[in-house]
Amino acid sequence: MDTISDLPDCILLHILSFLPTKTSFLTTLLSRRWTHLCDNLQHLHFDQNQFRNGNTWSDFSAKKRFLDIVNWIISRHKAPPIRTFRLTCDLNQSDEFTLEWFIRKVLGPNLEELNLQLSSICWSDPKVAIPNGVFSCTSLVTLRLNGGHVRIPSPSAPSCRYHLPSLKTLQLYNVKISDGNLEEILSHCTALETLVLDLVCRSGEEGQLSICFPSLKSLHFKSYFGETLRLLVIDTPSLKRLDIQVVSGFHEIRVRNLHNVEEANINIAKQSFVLGFLVELCRIRILELGLLTIDCLPEVPPHRIPEFTCLQRLELTVWCLDTRYIMNMLQKCPMLKLLALVFIIVVPMMDPHPSPKWEHPVKVPTCLASHLQVIKIKGYFESRVDREFFAYVLQHGLVLESLDIQVDRWRAKGLFPVEISLLPRSSKACQINFCWI
């Protein structure tokens, strides 16, 4: 008995809103009732991969059929207005006007989410222009644009002003934007809570970017092409999660009001910028320092590194086991419970950087004697000079529960696990676990 068809339209439409649009339209095989429902869907989710039929389509025919289906569904759509539009597909140069037509068709006073994942094997200049109406859609809550073929042009007329009072999530990945437009757009996102700027390419002369939002809770900023930015300002008193990666190109980075950040990933190549962030993040609970940061910090005098009084988890991405720097960091983290070391090797068979000679600390870090429970080491390559470090943490780790070592099998010496396992431990609960990758 078909009992689900007896439910009211509003409930059935709510159920269909959680399904890919292709799956929703398959219900039209059940009865005409479902055809009526699909014509009134408010949430449209299209993924090109879900429309492939095994390997029977060529890339060209598969994409063409997919876009024809999307066009057919959007064209026959009836009231109520569309609230969510998600599109994932590959692009050719001939698709630019089709994509722009899709965007204009779904735009309306009720649109809450626009999510475009557009990929291409061609790295030519971006062609799909996001209509200005997207950035004056007062109902929009989530905007995600991803793809090297996407560009955000300047307003088509002085009267086309940006206005996004409801926008809470803005995510831009590999998007080209005209000079000054990014700053202008951000200045009109008064309710923003999540911001992602990942490899956003700005044209024009040097300028500055200010990320100053009293409501922002999560910020991800990644730039390998910062030569057009003279100054980056971050002032976010409500921020909880920070992920920032900057290789070079900025003349200055100013940070303020990061005292509420609970979790951060810092990967910056300039020492003065890193220290500025660390001072602001001294009350953080979870901290990850990337390889660029680790490369520029070991030579910093210990007194310039702030004390992280609330830090419970510390992850360091490293070339080698720089025990002096690691011990200095432990001295600054009295409440640390978990230490993770992630080893990076660019070329699989490349010889690792030699570990600096072990220097016995003058003082046992407070966390090692009272709080540190877990040490995780990932991608480790064995070195005899590191034995003293392992012996030290096992001897002074009074509450240590596990030492987990993931060994690079290409550099495994064979006797290393046995030697470490035989080292004396002060914590009877401590387990030493090995695995090979």
More confident residue, 183 or 350: 183
| The residue to which tokens 């409500």 are assigned | 238
Which pTM does this prediction carry? 0.86
324 exposure class (CB count in 10 Å sphere: 0-12, 13-18, 19+): middle
Query: Residue 252 above 60 pLDDT?
Result: yes
Residue 322, pLDDT above cutoff 70: yes
Q: Which of 92-106, 208-222, 227-241 ranks highest by mean pLDDT?
A: 208-222
Count of residues making up the chain: 437
Taking Cα atoms as reference points, which of 163, 185, 162 lies closest to residue 172? 185
Which of the two residues, 283 and 59, has the higher pLDDT score? 283
pLDDT band at 191 (very low <50, low <70, confident <90, very high): very high
Query: Which H or E run contains 417?
Result: helix 416-421
Instruction: Name residues whose C-beta falls within 8 Å of residue 82's C-beta, 6 or more positions apart in sequence.
Output: 41, 42, 43, 44, 106, 108, 110, 111
Mean pLDDT of the chain: 83
CA–CA separation, 311 vs 298, rounded Å? 19
Name 143's bridge partners: 114, 170
Residue 409 forms part of a structural domain: yes
Q: Is residue 390 part of a domain?
A: yes
199, part of any domain: no
**Mind listing the pLDDT tens digit for each residue in 269-295?**
889 999 999 999 999 999 999 999 988
> What is the domain count for the chain?
1
- Domain contains 369: yes
Q: Please give the single-letter amino acid code of residue 89.
A: C
Across the range 419-435, mean pLDDT stands at 91
Residue 93 DSSP SS3: helix
Residue 360 lies in a domain: yes
CA distances from 73 to 96, 115, 128, 145, 267 (A): 19, 17, 21, 22, 44
Query: Residue 57 domain-assigned?
Result: no
Instruction: Identify any residues that bridge with 207 across adjacent strands, giving them in sequence order.
Output: 229
- Tokens 């962030």 locate to 277
- Residue 378: which pLDDT band, with cuts at 50, 70 and 90? very high
What is the DSSP code string of 15-33? HHTTS-HHHHHHGGGT-HH
Report residue 36: phi and psi, to 5°: -60, -40
pLDDT exceeds 80 at position 89: yes
Confidence check: pLDDT of 23 > 80? no
Any bridge partners for residue 289, and if so which? 266, 316
Query: Who wins on pLDDT, 320 or 84?
Result: 84
Q: With 80 as the cut, is the pLDDT of residue 382 above it? A: no
Asked if the model's pLDDT at residue 108 lies above 60, the reply is yes
Q: Which two tokens stand for residue 121?
A: 């094997």
Left, alpha or beta for 147 (phi > 0: left; psi -120 to 50: alpha)? left
- Smallest Cα–Cα separation from 416: which of 387, 393, 392, 388? 387
Q: What's the pLDDT at 39?
A: 62
- Domain assignment present for 112: no
E strands, 82-135, are 84-90, 113-119, 128-129
For residue 229 the two structure tokens come to 């930015």
> Could you tell me the pLDDT band of residue 218, with boundaries at 50, 70 and 90?
very high
Of the candidate ranges 31-45, 80-94, 239-253, 392-406, the one whose mean pLDDT is the lowest: 31-45
Residue 373 lies in a domain: yes
Alpha helical stretches, state H, 140-220: 181-187
* Type of residue at 311: L
Q: Which domain holds residue 402?
A: 307-437
Q: What is the pLDDT of residue 56?
A: 47
Q: Looking at residue 380, what is its pLDDT? A: 85
pLDDT at 162: 86
Omega within 30 of 0 (cis) for the link into 80: yes
